[in-house]
Structure 1
Amino acid sequence: MTGETDLRELLTSMRPRPNPGRYVFITVDGDIPPGVRPVVTVAEQEGLTLVVPQRDADAAGLKYDYVAGWITLGVHSALDAVGLTAAVARELAAAGLSCNVVAGFYHDHLFVPYQHAARAVGVLENLSRRSARSRRREGEPPPGPDVAGDIAGDVAGDVAGDAERVYR
C-alpha cells in the first residue's frame, strides 16, 4: 500500500484527470445538511468545511463564493512524499491559477477555478512531460537546466528558500 516517494517519478506519472462537475467550498456549524454529499470534509475551529457538488449546495440553499473544478492526480503518492504539492502549486501559480490541495490516502486532489480547470490539466500534463524528458538514461549526461535540469532540485531549492523567508 505504500505510495511513490520519488519526486521525479511522481511528476512523470501524475496523470492529472478532471472529475466531472462543479464543486464549492462551504462551512457549516453542525452536521452535514441533508442531501449534501461532501467529497471533502475538514474540521476547523470555526466550523466544518465541506467541498460539495455545486448542485447539492444550491439545492440546500447554502452560500459559497468559489466554484472549483476538481482534478485528481492519478499517481499513488506516499503521504510522506516531499515536493509534489510544491511542484504542482508552483507550476499552476506560474500560470496564474489558484489551487487548493487535498491529500487523500492514495491520491492528491486539486481544486482550481472551474473556468480554468481544462487549462490547469494542460499545465500539469506539460509539467509531467518535462519531467519525463529530464529523466536520465543509463550512460547519458545529466540534462541541461533548460530541460527542467532537475525539476526536483529546482523545486526543492525554491521551496526551501521560500520556507526560510517565511519563517525568519
Structure 2
Amino acid sequence: MSAERDLTRLVAGMRPELNPGRYVFTTVDGPAPEGVAPVVTVAESEGLTLVVRQEEADAAGLAYDYAAAWITLRIHSALDAVGLTAAVARELARAGLSCNVVAGFHHDHLFVEHARADEALAALKDLADHPHRSAV
C-alpha cells in the first residue's frame, strides 16, 4: 500500500487509535538507561529526549513533568504530505488541547495531555467525519 498524500483522504481515513498507557517526555545525557524502551527518541544538543512509559521512567528515576496519552493516526501518511499536521493541530487547539506530533515512516503519532485523551480522540474522530474542515 502506498502512502497517502491527499489531505481530504488523509483526514477522512486517519482512524485515530489510543495506545494504552501513560507516556512521559524526559531527557538523558547518554543512551537510554537499562529497562527503558523509548517509543520516541530525539537527539538534541542538550541531551537525548526520550518518550517512555511512565512506569519505566519512574523505575529508572527519570525526571519528567508531563504525562501524555499516545494516539496513532492509522492512515499511512506520506512524509511529504501537506496539511495533516496542521489540520490535526488546529482541531485540537480549537478544543484547547496541546499536541506533540511525531512522524514515523508509516503513521503520525500524537501525544496529548493524558487526562484529556478521550476528549482528544473524540475531536479527531469528529474531524475525520467532517474532512472538509481540514482545508488549509
TM-score w.r.t. the length of structure 1 is 0.79
Task: Quote the offset at 1:31 in angstroms.
Answer: 1.2
Residue equivalent to 2:18 = 18
Pairing of 1:19-168 with structure 2 (within 5 A): 19-131=19-131, 134=132, 148=133, 151-152=134-135, 156=136
Q: Deviations over 1:21-78 (max 9, x none)?
A: 0000000001110100100000011100000000000001111000000000000000
- Matched letter for residue 17 of structure 1: E
- Matched letter for residue 45 of structure 2: Q
Q: What is the DSSP-based 3-state SS (H/G/I as helix, E as strand, rest coil) of the residue aligned with 2:122? A: helix
Q: What is the DSSP-based 3-state SS (H/G/I as helix, E as strand, rest coil) of the residue aligned with 1:110? A: strand
Q: How many residues align?
A: 136
Q: Please list every run of at least 4 consecutive aligned residues from structure 1 whose deviation after the TM superposition is greater than 6 angstroms.
A: none
Q: What is the DSSP-based 3-state SS (H/G/I as helix, E as strand, rest coil) of the residue aligned with 1:8? A: helix
- Matched letter for residue 12 of structure 1: A
- Matched letter for residue 50 of structure 2: L
Q: Deviations over 1:96-147 (max 9, x none)?
A: 000000000000000000000111000000000011xx5xxxxxxxxxxxxx
Q: Does 1:8 align with 2:8?
A: yes
Distance 1:88 1:43 in 2: 25
Q: Aligned residues: percent identity? A: 67
Task: Quote the offset at 1:2 in angstroms.
Answer: 3.3
Structure 1 stretches of 5 or more lacking a match? 135-147, 157-168
Q: What is the DSSP-based 3-state SS (H/G/I as helix, E as strand, rest coil) of the residue aligned with 1:20? A: strand
Distance 2:37 2:31 in 1: 12
Q: What is the DSSP-based 3-state SS (H/G/I as helix, E as strand, rest coil) of the residue aligned with 2:124? A: helix
TM-score w.r.t. the length of structure 2 is 0.97
Q: Could you say which structure has the larger radius of gyration?
A: 1
Structure number with higher helix proportion: 1
- Matched letter for residue 92 of structure 1: L
- Matched letter for residue 78 of structure 1: A
RCO comparison, higher one (Cα < 8 Å, 6+): 2
